[in-house]
Amino acid sequence: MTGPRNTVTCTILLALGYLGLTVQCQASDPAKITHRVDSRMVLVPVTVTDGKGKTITDLRRDQFQVLDDSTPVEIVSFSREEAPVSIGIVLDLSGSMHAKKRHAVNAIREIVTRSGPQDEALLMTFSDKPELRVEFTRDVEAVLDPLLFTGAKGATALIDAIYVGLQQMKHAKNPRRVLVVVSDGGDNHSRYTESELTSLALESDTQIYSISIHEAVTNVQERSGMYLLSKLSENTGGLHLVVRDRRELSEIAAKLSTAINNLYVIGYRAPSDFLSGKWRKVKIRVENSGGERLRVATRSGYFPD
């Protein structure tokens, strides 16, 4: 006759959205513990591009270095992933976008037509306020329909639009979540503050990919919007690309779409104080034997749950 079964209870904690996972297991009877598992595994999504925005997909594990709160950690898993994506599209249709709308719609078309069969998308537009046009659907090209009959006018509630867009991403069905923002200006009509938006973005499990249309170098409002989108993309592990000529929007959008659909996923075991609850910074470095400087996009950090 066998003795009582020593059951094991596991607690699963999420960090870095769906890509970070900590597993702690403890036997139900402490007197019979023979082995304790405490893996503290963190998985980090990483996108690497060159100076022209081209996605680099042929890097090796030994070319990456990971720092968790400035502490070098060993990479224990490494893969390249093309997982289904839930894409939230946030398009600026304020008055300044009137002459750029056709090019912006073509950019959105580039993104949705490159989507996979398991991807889903939603559409939000904004001027004075954000407006949800299409809820999440696997018929991703359906997000283009409302854009054919919508004009561009009014002020620019950029912060509100991104804030509401991040809230909508909570309804996504795919584990990987991306918010794509296309805008040509800074905010001049929002209720939420930049600080409130930054806090939500850091806590979100959504990467923000953005395109700034910045044709007038001396335009202060365009420049402020560009800086905001750049910071949000950097903090959440997305990419921020700048368009100096509206005719280049489709080309830039194609590069952005390629980056969204090509990720490295790096796994490591966090240091022993992982569960302190404090914000932890993550930094990924890449060595390139070719000499060209590469751009690494990943989340700036995470709060352990």
Q: By three-state DSSP, how is residue 12 classified?
A: strand
pLDDT digits (tens, 9 = 90+) for 33-56: 222 334 578 889 999 999 888 999
Q: Which two tokens stand for residue 64?
A: 């990456």
Is residue 27 scored above 60 in pLDDT? no
CA distance 36 to 25: 7
- pLDDT category of residue 275 using cuts at 50, 70 and 90: low
The percent of residues above 70 in pLDDT, for the chain, comes to 85
* CB contact set of 262 (below 8 Å; sequence gap of 6+): 47, 55, 57, 80, 82
pLDDT at 114: 94
CA distance 73 to 98: 49
- Which residue, 237, 166, 234, 154, is CA-closest to 197? 166
Per-chain mean pLDDT for the chain = 86
Residue 40 and residue 73 in contact, taking contact as beta carbons nearer than 8 Å: no
The percent of residues above 90 in pLDDT, for the chain, comes to 69
Choose the weakest-confidence range: 57-61, 200-204, 226-230, 291-295: 291-295
Is residue 5 scored above 50 in pLDDT? no
pLDDT digits (tens, 9 = 90+) for 126-137: 999 999 999 999
Is residue 62 scored above 50 in pLDDT? yes
pLDDT digits (tens, 9 = 90+) for 162-172: 999 999 999 99
Domains plus CATH for the chain?
8-81+262-302 (no CATH), 85-260 (3.40.50.410)
pLDDT at 303: 77
